[in-house]
Amino acid sequence: MPLYGYIVLRCKEMIMCGRFALNQISDSILELLGFGLPESFQERFNIAPSENSWVALQEKDRKPVLQELYWGLIPFWAKEKSIGMSAINARAESVAEKPMFREAYQRRRCLVPASGFYEWRKNGKGKIPYYFSPKNEEEPLVFAGLWENWNNGNETLRSFTIITTAANDFMKPIHDRMPLILKPEFWQKWLAPATALSELEKILERPVDNGFLQNWEVDSYVNDISHEGSFCAEPVNLF
């Protein structure tokens, strides 16, 4: 197995799946930002670590913006960008203390829009992929994230990570972790650099309701990070 594929597999085993889809950005996010869909937007159904995806972020004294960032947080103090492959996710329980994430958590938080995400259920010696998305298709799916600026003198890169939390009852049969999903009423507080840490702690402690998500089994086609297209997220025909 190539090294990249091995790293992604290990990330799935340790935290949550390292794959999600973004085939549209909800109107509610675009309204928050005050502009339309970027001309360069392309729908994706199999976004993997080390690839770019769209996130909403807000720098101090500026309005929120939508930018494409590298998935895998690279702290500003890192010497090599390869460290990002070990930081595709940040645990909600320790994000405020870990040196890898602490400063970004305090000052550089972002919203990671998605259409759905994948997780793998253990089945004997193998694993079965499932796709998770909002049960109500009108509901936006947004993950809590952190972002960073990294510059080693030769290259400048903005990167992000997705915060995960303990699985709710709906998720537990598949995995013990899940992305921290933010409802719209928390978006502005999460983005604003000046939000008090006490307020952030309250947001971290609010897992999504059990009835928010739906899921279905998908084809193992999605296992290959080079595969793309809507077939990745289509339900398996079990009959």
Residues labelled catalytic? 17, 119
What distance in Å separates the CA atoms of residue 206 and residue 229, rounded to the nearest whole number? 32
What distance in Å separates the CA atoms of residue 86 and residue 8, rounded to the nearest whole number? 9
The beta-carbon contacts of 123-126 under 8 Å, at least 24 apart in sequence, are none
Report whether 146 contacts 110 (CB < 8 A). Answer: yes
Among candidate residues 108, 117, 174, 172, the one with its CA nearest the CA of residue 145: 108
Among candidate residues 144, 163, 7, the one with its CA nearest the CA of residue 93: 163
Among candidate residues 231, 213, 212, the one with its CA nearest the CA of residue 221: 231
